[in-house]
Structure 1
Amino acid sequence: MNGRIIAIGDIHGCHQEFAELLELLKPTKDDRLILVGDLVNRGPDSCKVIDLARQHRAISLLGNHELRLLNYRKNKTPAAEIDRKTDADTFQKLRPEDWLYLESMPLTHYVEALNTVFAHGGFLPNEPWQRQPASIVTRIQSIDADGRACKRSDSPDSPPWADLWNGPPFVIYGHTPRPDVYKLKWSVGIDTACVMGGHLTAYILPEKRFVQVKSRRRYYP
């Protein structure tokens, strides 16, 4: 495998932090840039994030925020009827080429040489990861007492899915914002809450190194 694999956590419209991180990383044509979803919403400029992703030939994975915007569009929901303000703002600003970019996002990306899969949210344990639907892969945070995927806020005492995941494969994911990287034997969570005033995190393979930039400010909520 030539070059590095560079995974970057949830950007959420934070284009300045994304640009700063890319400047530190200096990706070459041999490197593979993988953005683990939620490029858009909440932060200052989703369109500029998509422009940078396209410019650097990133593999951008489908996150729950992209999925929600695509569903509004598919269902022909008027912007005025979108109840989340940040969704409505992004919905109105996205250009035709941005919608095409969102529609082209794969759900997962698997690197066989490293037996590693990249996804936005994660997976239910004890089920083949390849067969799990977008509703799970983009949204899962925890596992409730009945073994079902749930949001952390809906079941605060339930364990994170990653605590119950015994690979292979190794999973690199975002979606669940934390103050620090969440590194376990079989997974690493790299959403370090940039849009909430935290950091934007990159994880570089095969060297297993983290690079971070501090958020310029808290953009959300």
Structure 2
Amino acid sequence: MKFDVIGDVHGCYDELHALFTDLGYERKNGIPYHPDKRTPVFLGDITDRGPKSIKTIDFVYRIVMEEKVGRYVPGNHCNKLYRYFLGNNVQISHGLETTVAEFQALSKDRQAQVKKQFVELYEQADLYESIPEVNAIVAHAGIREDLIGRKDKETAVFVLYGDITGKSHDDGRPERRDWAQDYHGDRWIIYGHTPVKEARRINQTINIDTGCVFGNKLTAFRLPEETLTAVPSQQPYITEKFKYFE
């Protein structure tokens, strides 16, 4: 089997379509199918900050839930949107406000449909995806080797938010340990969450969040080939969003 793991989309719907084209997918009734039967895998944060989060939800839902030709794991933004849809008291900030604005502009019937789609998508997803056919694990913010196989709270926090210390940088960014430096497993760990200018490969890990929503590019990592495909972003470039590992 062959897989295309897609980095953080964040509502960049047009770029996602362009990426599927560059990856060689063909459309049937609007759904991408690859002639080589490749499987797309979304590594979380499909919404927020970008211009078309609702269309992205529709698209990913159809691929994963209706046609069952793709896979999805949640990210921290997905978790927050899920809690919003459940009626929990969450802060409408840090990008969620863009998705909520789109959502609130819809008719009541359409709102009910989108909410149902996203809740179903989120609830059926595993916290992280094991793909033994290509010796890989897809986890939104990564995963330590000792956490693989676990689904407890510690693992969930790591997978959704990274190896956070509980402290913050001066600019408000959460302080994170660079866990990939200490990973020595033989399975690929494919993740995103922290935007980087270029896909960052350390040991047998690769960060493919190349900050499409911040004006850089949208990237996919292909397995078993271990190759990268990327398309340029159509969003304004924001330099300060790419400083974490620089």
TM-score by structure 1 length? 0.83
Residues of 2 paired with 1:70 and 1:52: CA distance? 17
Question: How many residues align structurally?
Answer: 208
How many angstroms apart in 1 are the aligned matches of 2:44 and 2:58? 15
Asked if 1:14 is matched to 2:12, the reply is yes
Quickly say closer, same or farther: Cα 1:159–1:17, change in 2 above 3 A: same
Residue 156 (structure 2) aligns with: 134
Structural mapping, 1:1-221, within 5 Å: 1=1, 4-25=2-23, 26=25, 27-28=33-34, 30-56=37-63, 57-77=69-89, 82-84=91-93, 86-91=95-100, 93=103, 95=114, 96-125=116-145, 127-132=146-151, 133-140=155-162, 142=163, 144=165, 153-155=173-175, 159-218=177-236
Unaligned runs of 5+ in 1: none
Structure 1 position 110, deviation (Å): 0.9
CA contact (8 A) 2:48 2:97 kept: no
TM-aligned CA distance change 1:151 to 1:207, over 3 Å: farther
Amino acid at match of 1:116: A
Cα deviation, 1:106-138, whole Å, max 9, x if unaligned, reads 21111113221111001235x232215322211
What is the CA–CA distance in structure 2 between the aligned matches of 1:82 and 1:89, rounded to whole Å? 12
> Does structure 2 retain, via aligned residues, the 8 Å contact 1:64–1:138?
yes
Distance in 2, Cα, partners of 1:214 & 1:169 = 29
CA distance in 1, matches of 2:236, 2:117: 29
Superposition CA RMSD, Å: 2.5
CA drift of 1:151 comes to 7.1
- TM-score normalised according to structure 2 size: 0.75
What is the rounded CA distance, in whole Å, between the counterparts of 1:84 and 1:169 in structure 2?
35
Rate the CA distance shift 1:91–1:184 in 2: closer, same or farther, 3 A: same
